[in-house]
Amino acid sequence: MTPRRCRGFSMIEVLVSIVILSIGLIGLVGLQARGLQFSVSAEDTNRASLLANELATSMWTARTVSLPSTTISAWQTRVADVTADGLPNGSGTVSVDANGVATITITWHPPSAASGADDNRFVTQVVVP
């Protein structure tokens, strides 16, 4: 190529490089956002586990799965209170079957989840001998 025909060729190379770099950076930002979403989800699940463990400990301490309604109500309030390590849009239920097995269910709906998405759920069972 003659110098006259090469004029502007370096500029095109630089522009193509910038476009490729931009696409890569957009991909990295997307990965970062997805990683943050998984981290928040794991934190919420861990918090639900701790809240369920808190109630299970109360059952073990009382040596019965049938706790007073005031204890259950206070626990349900704690599950729903985001400012006190609760869960976003959280609720907790406890059901006891005829065999004395308590099922603790905690559900929550993260604010970042899509409006039609299912609630997240953590379920554990407690048996007190």
DSSP the chain: --HHHHTTHHHHHHHHHHHHHHHHHHHHHHHHHHHHHHHHHHHHHHHHHHHHHHHHHHHHHHTSS---HHHHHHHHHHHH-GGGT--TT-EEEEEE-TTSEEEEEEEE--TTS-TTSPPEEEEEEEE--
Structure confidence by residue, pLDDT tens digits, 87-123: 999 999 999 999 999 999 999 998 877 777 788 999 9
Question: Considering the entire predicted model, what is its pTM?
Answer: 0.77
pLDDT at res. 1: 54
- Residue 15, token pair as written in the block: 């522009």
Question: In angstroms, rounded to a whole number, what is the distance separating the alpha carbons of residues 50 and 30?
Answer: 30
Domain membership of residue 61 as a residue range:
3-127
Structurally, the chain folds into a number of domains equal to 1
Burial class (CB in 10 A: 0-12, 13-18, 19+), 84: exposed
pLDDT at res. 5: 65
pLDDT at res. 110: 86
pLDDT at res. 68: 94
pLDDT beneath 70: ranges in the chain = 1-8
Q: How many CB atoms lie within 10 A of CB 66?
A: 13
